[in-house]
A and B are shown apart, each in its own frame.
Chain A
């Protein structure tokens, strides 16, 4: 199993550009999450999904959109990138919410200039 795979690893965007961060998992997990980590800080939840076709907002959803058309994929869309979105983005998944460990991808480092 590859686990949770995120692409790209690094990206530099100009202010106002858009992009999609890709996340796929091959563990047949039903729960998937997007977190962002600012320098020296903990992780904040952006969006999450409890299954295909179901998504919900986390703590910091503004400026982002998600979709979940399949169990495996959970892309994160940034529209009109802003410097405040400079961060490291982590995708994660788990099988069952309350008694399954959370598995993380290796992250995408995004810089908006």
Chain B
């Protein structure tokens, strides 16, 4: 199956700092999504972004499909940004399994 690697595994920031999270994947994809899991365990969809760039407030994401990676940018971080960020992908070629494969996540802690 497709491999999804996220880096860094852990990240500690001071409030107000910027950060970049990376997601590498091993095959062409037709679906890539970023999720935030808050400290209470809830999973929130941040972006659907199989290619190109999107922005939503202080968050933005870029996927370079030809080079098989995606980046999530967090600017002016806040303590509420803490949690785990997951990248999830689905292969572009029809393999019969039509679902997202998740990376192991980046755990972010924003300190006041």
Is B103 in contact with A98, judged by CB distance below 8 angstroms? no
Residue of B1, B41, B86, B104 near A59 (CB, 8 A) is B1
Interface string of A84-99 (1 = CB under 8 A from B): 0000101010000111
CB of B30 closer than 8 Å to a CB of A: yes
With A and B bound together, what is the CA distance between A11 and B60 in angstroms? Answer: 38
| Chain A CB within 8 A of B97 CB | yes
Bound-state CA distance A33–B35 (Å) is 16
A101 near B48: Cβ-Cβ < 8 Å: yes
Q: Mark A61-89, 1 if CB is under 8 A from B, else 0.
A: 00000000000000000000000000010
A96 to B86, CA, bound (A): 21
Count chain B residues whose beta carbon lies closer than 8 angstroms to a beta carbon of A.
25
Contact A58 B43 (CB under 8 A): no
A-B interface pairs (CB < 8 A), number: 59
Contacts of A99 in B (CB 8 A): 31, 48
Decide: B45 and A102 in contact? CB cutoff 8 A: yes
B: which residues have CB within 8 A of A? 1, 30-31, 33, 35, 41-45, 48, 50, 86, 88, 90, 96-105
- 19 A-B pairs within 8 Å (CB atoms) are namely A42-B86, A42-B102, A42-B103, A43-B88, A45-B101, A48-B98, A58-B97, A97-B31, A97-B90, A98-B31, A98-B50, A99-B31, A102-B100, A104-B42, A104-B44, A106-B41, A107-B41, A107-B42, A107-B43
Interface residue ranges, A against B (CB under 8 Å)? 31, 33, 35, 41-45, 48, 50, 56, 58-59, 88, 90, 92, 97-104, 106-107
